[in-house]
Amino acid sequence: MPRSPRRPGDSCDPPGDVVHVPREMRPRRITQRGRNICRMADEPLSNTTWIACLACFLRTQAHQVLFNTCRCRLLFHKLMEKTGVLVLCAFGFWVFSMHLPSKLEVWQDDSINSPLQSLRMYQEKVRHHTGEIQDLRGNINQLIAKLQEMEAMSDEQKMAQKIMKMIQGDYIEKPDFALKSIGATIDFEQTSATYNQDKARSYWNWIRLWNYAQPPDVILEPNVTPGNCWAFAGDRGQVTIRLAQKVCLSNLTLQHIPKTISLSGSLDTAPKDFVIYGMEGSSREEVFLGAFQFQPENIIQMFQLQNQPPRTFGAVKVKISSNWGNPRFTCLYRVRVHGSVTPPREQPHTPAHPERD
């Protein structure tokens, strides 16, 4: 191919006449690589030249890519280092911020909370004692009010209260010689058999273990509660009491539970008609002392003996002939025997003075 005509002033022209061109208009200095490129552009290119140019271009691009890649790696490493430093700083600040308040609180607890706790404990003690003092004041005021009421109470009211206490309570103020605690016992040979009810027994495989029925000596104890009594079958029976010592008999007292606390709501098991005998000696001589009737409406009844011989007896027999309607059994809750150890003295008979003429 024919070469293209060269232009005057071209960088590839050989030096000739010097042309002064302003500095601003002067072309840049062309390096050897640029000259080679210009030559390659002016000369016709062969296939080998094109391949070489392409390889050179690709190598140049590869160098740039590698350079850029290495530069990016450096930037990435620097960024990671700075990021790691920042993360470490942030973690250290977090740890410091988390542990510093706890240490400050511990210091505050040691320096401030101890006097505060002692002050609170003192306040609680003061409040507790204040409440106790108020309770004591209230109790004292109540006592003062009761004392004032008692002082203002008239003699009639006091007497009425005393009468009510006597009616409601045990007003028998006589010595009881049939009390178990002082030595009185039951003569079982002269006493009826105890009524055994199936409900009062406890069995195991048809073997009776124990019996809840009370023995006869329960009538010699002051515990009068529902069920704490001696029961005998039917409406006829007797009990013989050996007294604590020989006594000149004067009275006998029977006691039953009131209807208001009876489980059955009735008093049909209470004794009705009975006879009292005094017994003394080995011959078991019985001396009639009186026949009486018990009224269950009055839970405590004292009977004065109709026959009071001037002698002492060591035992008393109470023979019951009827009850108040229960056909199965009769209950005795308590029997008391009253009298004196020494026989009563007879009053001397003073003869009448004869009339004077």
The residue count for the chain = 357
pTM metric for this prediction: 0.50
Q: Can you give the pLDDT at residue 20?
A: 54
How many degrees, rounded to 5, is the angle at CA 274 between CA 268 and CA 280? 140
Q: What is the pLDDT of residues 135-151, one digit of tens each?
A: 888 888 888 888 777 77
Residues in the chain, pLDDT under 70? 1-47, 98-113, 152-171, 197-212, 282-283, 344-357
Residues 334, 173: Cα–Cα separation, whole Å: 15
Q: Which residue has the tokens 């150890």?
A: 341
Q: Can you give the pLDDT at residue 117?
A: 77
The distance from CA 339 to its chain's CA centroid, rounded to whole angstroms, is 54
Residues 251, 304: Cα–Cα separation, whole Å: 4
**DSSP string for 278-311:** EEETTTTEEEEEEEEE--TTSSEEEEE-S---SS
Residues 161, 14: Cα–Cα separation, whole Å: 158
> Which residues are CB-neighbours of 11 under 8 A, at least 6 positions away?
27, 30, 34, 35, 38
Structure tokens at 107: 């210091």
Residues 164, 176: Cα–Cα separation, whole Å: 23
Q: What is the pLDDT of residues 255-273, one digit of tens each?
A: 999 888 888 888 999 999 9
Please say whether the beta carbons of 289 and 303 come within 8 A.
Answer: no
Structure tokens at 325: 């309607």
Q: Can you give the pLDDT at residue 211?
A: 46
The distance from CA 223 to its chain's CA centroid, rounded to whole angstroms, is 33
Q: What is the dihedral of CA 131, 134, 136, 141, to 10 degrees?
A: -160
